[in-house]
Structure 1
Amino acid sequence: MAHTIPLKTPLDDTGLPRRQDAAPSAPATSPIDTSRFNHPHFLGTSPGKRDGWVVYSFAPFTGLEDRPRLPEAACRELPLGWQDWCSLSRQYEVAEIVWSHARLRRQAKPLLHRAAPLWHAWTTARDRLIATFEQFWDTGDGQWRAQLLRLTDAERAAAQAAHEWDAVAAQLAQVAADQIGVAGWEEELALTVVAKEIGYDASDWEICHVDDYTSPLPQYRIVRDGVDHWDRATPLAARAAQLIEAQRERLREVARLAGDPADRASA
């Protein structure tokens, strides 16, 4: 099925963008046939739903093609006027957008299939960690150490799940950034849209900006014994560490209030 995309700059009746700084008018000349420089996937144009807008149609892209580029031969071989350059450059601009969407789908879909069970593993481990901590409310003194062992198991599972999620989220963030780098923010294809196309609700998945997964990693804050401590980690790993540290700090506080040895609250 052909891919279509509207040109988001309205055109006037000459086919030029409506801009106050448009090129000055020139004597009318016979139009130059630039069709041999069309992109191979280009099918044609049609009027858009809004007055003065144009829809560009292309044969389907796989995303494996080279990035669409206006041929250098067009610069060398045709004495193109401003209008001809505008038409061709707009065509290739839209081709880049459509191609970037196809490439994102090709790259993201296998990653999304990998991500779905990892996000489930994280939410399961997170919920288990929270539930295990809450069980301290009903844990007698004689069972304190056993409950601490259960908590440390839950901590390790949550930390590992967060680390594994961040690994695939970093790859998804990169392919998303690559698509925006080609098409711009206005033509972003959201990963949630691609996920929905293959049957996943990714609306609550934590996929941050690509910079949050690269070195140097952003700092996150932990308060320990009333003092700020700063560490570095990828986003979900940092959140898991903050949750674990908050729980441990609460246990240390309880141990201090009860006058218990410090190792009782250690994990």
Structure 2
Amino acid sequence: MAQTIPLVHALDDARLSPATPAPAGASAGDDGVRYHHPHYLSAERIGDRRVRYAFREFTGRESEPATPLELYRDPALTSEQCTRIARQYAAARVLWSQRRLRLRAVPLLATARLCWTSWRLAYEHMQSLFAAFTTLEDNRWRSHLMRLLDAHRVARQMAADWDDIAGQLAAAVADQHAVVDDWSDEVDLTVVAAEQGIDTTGWLIEPAGLYADTPYYRTDTPLVARLVEEIDEQRARLADIAHLAVDHDSGRWLAADHH
């Protein structure tokens, strides 16, 4: 199956490719075919200033298309021919990067859907336990507190699991965007997900750099950081209540380090 991509190709005022005389010793039919990408099929001008390139379908498992360095040292080629072939490789990189993103993201998205559901269930359970304190009898306060602390731990694990898969997805997207030269060739993760029938509404996926440790310190990943802040607020609120109720044992539990 052939893949095509329109790519800007500079044309002169007469809307023709600038003509450059062939160097001495070059054959009339020498257009650098030997340097073409193996997937390259054809190129045709469309409109005033665009060229459509056609390639055999990429799998995403190939090496990244890279313009051969020998191209620029070949005396048989004109500068225009070198530029034309270089643009061919730029077009090939776009199609390759888009296919590679899908190759990497599709299996991750299937796992991500399960992880996000698990996180939401754990988070909502945690929230419901906290909310229940407002109507709880005093003699059940401590046992309910233990259930909340357990829910905090489960929610944090689910958040960490989500951040792990979200970081992998963010890295796959960042790699694709880094390969292409034009923002219009970037693929949004929501598009890939929609192709698989996956709704990403509400998903927290931050830029890839926020999931990586720095050489000097380690910080919580995005969803874990948000959750820890909320857990701290819950614990502080309950500790205040325990203090006012002169329940020092519960206050010590809540003040303990939970990170």
| Structure 1 length-normalised TM | 0.82
Does 2:196 match 1:209? no
- What is the number of equivalent residue pairs in this alignment? 246
- 1:127 aligned residue (124, 146, 149): 124
Paired position in structure 1 for 2:174: 177
Cα deviations by residue, 1:65-88 (Å, 9 ceiling, x for unpaired): 111122234234343222212211
Distance of aligned partners of 1:31 and 1:52 in 2 relative to their CA distance in 1, 3 Å threshold:
farther
Paired with 1:185 and 1:138, the residues of 2 have a C-alpha distance of 57
Paired position in structure 2 for 1:62: 59
Shift of 1:119: 0.8
Distance of aligned partners of 1:218 and 1:262 in 2 relative to their CA distance in 1, 3 Å threshold:
farther
Amino acid at match of 1:34: G
Amino acid at match of 1:244: I
Paired position in structure 1 for 2:16: 14
Does 2:235 match 1:264? no
- 1:245 aligned residue (212, 215, 232): 232
Shift of 1:55: 1.9
Distance of aligned partners of 1:52 and 1:43 in 2 relative to their CA distance in 1, 3 Å threshold:
same
Instruction: Name whichever of 147-156 and 181-190 sits farther off.
Output: 181-190
Whether the 8 Å CA contact 1:11–1:54 is kept in 2: the answer is no
Cα deviations by residue, 1:165-190 (Å, 9 ceiling, x for unpaired): 11111222222222122124612212
Cα deviations by residue, 1:97-127 (Å, 9 ceiling, x for unpaired): 1111111111111111111100110111111
Paired with 2:221 and 2:17, the residues of 1 have a C-alpha distance of 49
Paired with 2:219 and 2:110, the residues of 1 have a C-alpha distance of 28
Q: 3-state DSSP class of the match of 1:67?
A: coil
Paired with 1:168 and 1:103, the residues of 2 have a C-alpha distance of 17
- 1:143 aligned residue (140, 145, 149): 140
Amino acid at match of 1:163: A
Cα deviations by residue, 1:104-154 (Å, 9 ceiling, x for unpaired): 111111111111100110111111111111111111211111210221121
Distance of aligned partners of 1:214 and 1:10 in 2 relative to their CA distance in 1, 3 Å threshold:
same
Shift of 1:155: 0.8
Paired with 2:10 and 2:249, the residues of 1 have a C-alpha distance of 70
Instruction: Name whichever of 112-121 and 75-84 sits farther off.
Output: 75-84
Whether the 8 Å CA contact 1:42–1:58 is kept in 2: the answer is yes
Shift of 1:32: 4.3
Please list every run of 5 or more consecutive structure 1 residues that lacks an aligned counterpart in the other structure.
Answer: 17-24, 220-230
Whether the 8 Å CA contact 1:46–1:56 is kept in 2: the answer is yes
Whether the 8 Å CA contact 2:22–2:78 is kept in 1: the answer is no
Paired with 1:165 and 1:183, the residues of 2 have a C-alpha distance of 28
Please list every run of 5 or more consecutive structure 2 residues that lacks an aligned counterpart in the other structure.
Answer: 255-259
Instruction: Name whichever of 241-250 and 180-189 sits farther off.
Output: 180-189
Cα deviations by residue, 1:11-48 (Å, 9 ceiling, x for unpaired): 441336xxxxxxxx866986742233211111222344
Whether the 8 Å CA contact 1:180–1:188 is kept in 2: the answer is yes
Q: 3-state DSSP class of the match of 1:43?
A: strand
Paired with 1:168 and 1:91, the residues of 2 have a C-alpha distance of 34
Distance of aligned partners of 1:70 and 1:241 in 2 relative to their CA distance in 1, 3 Å threshold:
same
Amino acid at match of 2:84: S
Paired with 2:4 and 2:88, the residues of 1 have a C-alpha distance of 12
Paired position in structure 2 for 1:74: 71
Whether the 8 Å CA contact 2:22–2:76 is kept in 1: the answer is no
Paired with 1:80 and 1:27, the residues of 2 have a C-alpha distance of 10
| Structure 2 length-normalised TM | 0.85
- 1:232 aligned residue (209, 214, 219): 219
Distance of aligned partners of 1:3 and 1:70 in 2 relative to their CA distance in 1, 3 Å threshold:
same
Distance of aligned partners of 1:38 and 1:59 in 2 relative to their CA distance in 1, 3 Å threshold:
same
Does 2:97 match 1:110? no
Distance of aligned partners of 1:168 and 1:184 in 2 relative to their CA distance in 1, 3 Å threshold:
farther
